[in-house]
Chain A
Amino acid sequence: MQKLGDFKLPQFFNYPPYFTLQPVRDTREKQIQLWKDLILDYCKTHHIFVIGLEDQEFPLFSNPAIERSLTYEAREAFLSALVAQGRAEWLDKSRRKCLVLWHRIQDWANIVLDFVKDNGLEDSVMTVEEIRTGIESRGTELHGIDRTVLMRALKMLEQKGKLAIFKGTTADDEGVKFSI
């Protein structure tokens, strides 16, 4: 079977109608469902958080083997379906960039908690950047996480009283004080 990087593509990826937005309701619903699942799987495998709609940068949206690619309208339809499901968010009003939440914010928050527990950081202080790129997070899903996504997860934990976020010395970095 075809692969896209490390990602194993399903058989129907070579089915030409998969790349044409289907007009009939039942068929379209199933098609959208399949695209949503595939986009989430692919983003998870490749650790992709933001999909740009305009350019051809997102390889999943075209299949050179059968010379098919999604139209802009179709891309927007599939991503909108993810947005409606709470698994994605538009980053701008013109819908050119989309943030994909292959883990929901709630799940990300749990991953952060596990990370803190695994590393014995229950009462320590870390910067947000340290969580994203530091030595402790290397090899975990948190490594290289999108900043927006991480901040959302942290804020959720803050509301639950599990940590406190405070302004750091530099404007673009913030500190986190865990108190689990």
Chain B
Amino acid sequence: MAGNCLQAVELTTSGRPVLLPTEIECSLLSAVDLECEDLPNFPHLKSGLLILTTHRLLWLPDSTTTIPTASSSASAIPLAAVTHIFAAKKSIKSMFHSPRLRFQLSVSPEGRVPDSGLGSRSVVVTVVVRGKGDLDAFLSKFWESWRGRAWEIGDEQGSSDAVSGSGSASSSGLYTREGTVRMVGVSGILRKEQEMWESTDKSLQDAFQDLNALMSKAKEMVMLAEKMRQKLLSGSQPNDEELGSKQEMQDWMLSVGIISPVTKESAGAQYHQQLSRQLADFVRLPLERAGGMMNLIDIYCLFNRARGTELISPEDLLQACSLWEKFDVPVMLRKFDSGVMVIQNKSHSDEEVFARIKNLVTKPDALRNGISASDAAITLGIAPGMAKEHLLTAESKGLLCRDISPDGFRFYINLFPEIDPNDLYLVKDYGIYHTWLRAASASG
């Protein structure tokens, strides 16, 4: 909109900001106002959530209390446009005020934050913290991110990738850029390959030296994984590994890599809420693949694998899931009668699953011998535990009934309603009872 001098921020369905490719969240403050007296068109940003990332300052309206309006929609200030951060003033006056910090922002003559580079005017923006946030910690992170200039690294990589085009390793670009002679011919290729291996090997070794190193390398690892995935995708040599393992490898690569996991350190008091939203975004894809429902344990494993080093506890996961009720997210936590908990799409319908189960149990073989949870799991493409829950739910709806014998626990299509209580011997020559009888007598 014309009045807003800040950049707009896109939000995910669960209300989390969409981050740039290499952007990482660093800190969070809640109940924050942004003010700027120098600019008349500065938006009205009251009592929202301020997120500091390596690239930007993001201001989000508090979705739990206010309906986002045009004047207070999610906004971003790129750190590149920040020209100075003022040290916190310690004065008597500040004791009575809400804590605040100020920074200088470079804007274009019309008073807009530029997309790149610096503008010609400088204005001062004040951050007023009305909630209970650790402003000092935020300030030091702010400094860190601002000085880190992560956006420049990101830009550089982006442009070098664009130049080299065919997905070659960025290290190979160094040669030409620095003007050294590039090796040519087979020996050149071999040498390059060798160097790539060495650097890969080195980054792997570095990564495992200690946890801190691992943390700092995590991003590189994710990029490496991504690169390997790309290579696997493009690699089409006929003597390659079999296709199945390649596919599997790709899947593994894909499941690595929440680049900016919500952590207790970065989110503070907002931790569970933010975690909950990030989780909601994360589970969408795996849920789709699993047919709309997944075991909580499976989600726990997937989520932690994607987070890499910033692991969360089962309690945190459960709490994050139970917070979904309060947000408008497309997924929900469901508890079965047996106590098994799953995550499912809100749009997921049991009817659809029942239809598939019914289809399964009315096959001649299943009519004769029934089905076990593992049979259902194979056909429905879900975990046996989950399949059993579905079967039990179908049973409670009267679709199935059980058979417990030395052979195990099996389910059959429910014939009881079909049997005429006034004539035990009557079998109508249509309907499922008749079909069952034909299937059963075909075996004997």
Contacts and interface: CB of A to CB of B under 8 A. Distances in A.
Interface of A: 8, 10-12, 14-17, 19-20, 22-24, 26-27, 30-31, 33-34, 37-38, 41, 65, 67-68
A12 B419 contact: yes
Interface in B406-441: 406-407, 410, 412, 414-417, 419, 421, 424-425, 427, 433, 436-437, 440
Q: Which of B396, B401, B404, B425 has the most CB of A within 10 A?
A: B401
A55 B424 CA distance: 26
Contacts of A23: 395, 402
Q: Which of A16, A65, A67 has the most CB of B within 10 A?
A: A16
Given A16-B403, A20-B403, A30-B417, A65 B444 contact: yes
17 contacts: A10-B419, A10-B424, A11-B427, A15-B412, A15-B440, A16-B403, A16-B412, A17-B370, A17-B403, A17-B412, A20-B403, A22-B402, A23-B402, A24-B396, A34-B416, A34-B419, A65-B444
A37 to B, nearest CB: 6
Contacts of B421: 30, 33-34, 37
Contacts of B405: 16, 19-20, 67-68
Given A20-B403, A27-B416, A68-B405, A10 B398 contact: no
A12 B412 CA distance: 13
B403 A19 contact: yes
Contacts of A24: 395-396, 398, 401
A20 B404 CA distance: 6
B414 to A, nearest CB: 6
Given A20-B405, A37-B424, A68-B405, A15 B398 contact: no
A49 B134 CA distance: 84
Nearest to A30: B416
Q: Tell me the dominant secondary structure on chain B's binding face.
A: mixed
A34 B370 CA distance: 21
A14 B419 CA distance: 13
Contact of B401 (A17, A37, A68): A17
3 nearest A-B pairs in the assembled complex, by CB-CB distance: A16-B403, A10-B424, A30-B416
A11 B401 contact: no
Nearest to A15: B415
A27 B398 contact: yes
A41 B398 CA distance: 27
B402 A11 contact: no
Contact of A38 (B370, B410, B424, B436): B424
B336 to A, nearest CB: 15
A10 B425 CA distance: 5
Contacts of B403: 16-17, 19-20, 68
Contacts of A20: 401-405
Q: Which of B414, B417, B421, B424 has the most CB of A within 10 A?
A: B424
B308 to A, nearest CB: 45
A14 B439 CA distance: 12
A31 B425 contact: no
A14 B440 contact: yes
A33 B402 CA distance: 17
A68 B427 CA distance: 22
B435 to A, nearest CB: 12
Contacts of B395: 23-24
A64 to B, nearest CB: 12
Interface in B357-410: 370, 395-396, 398, 401-407, 410
A122 to B, nearest CB: 38
A149 B152 CA distance: 100
Given A17-B415, A30-B421, A67-B407, 4 more contacts: A22-B402, A27-B401, A27-B414, A30-B416
Contacts of A17: 370, 401-403, 412, 414-416
Nearest to A14: B440
Given A10-B424, A11-B437, A31 B402 contact: no
A68 B412 CA distance: 14
Contacts of B415: 12, 15, 17
A19 B401 CA distance: 11
Contacts of A10: 419, 424-425
Nearest to A65: B444
Nearest to A38: B424
Contacts of B406: 67
Contacts of A34: 416, 419, 421, 424
Contacts of B419: 10, 12, 30, 34
A19 B396 CA distance: 18
A15 B395 CA distance: 16
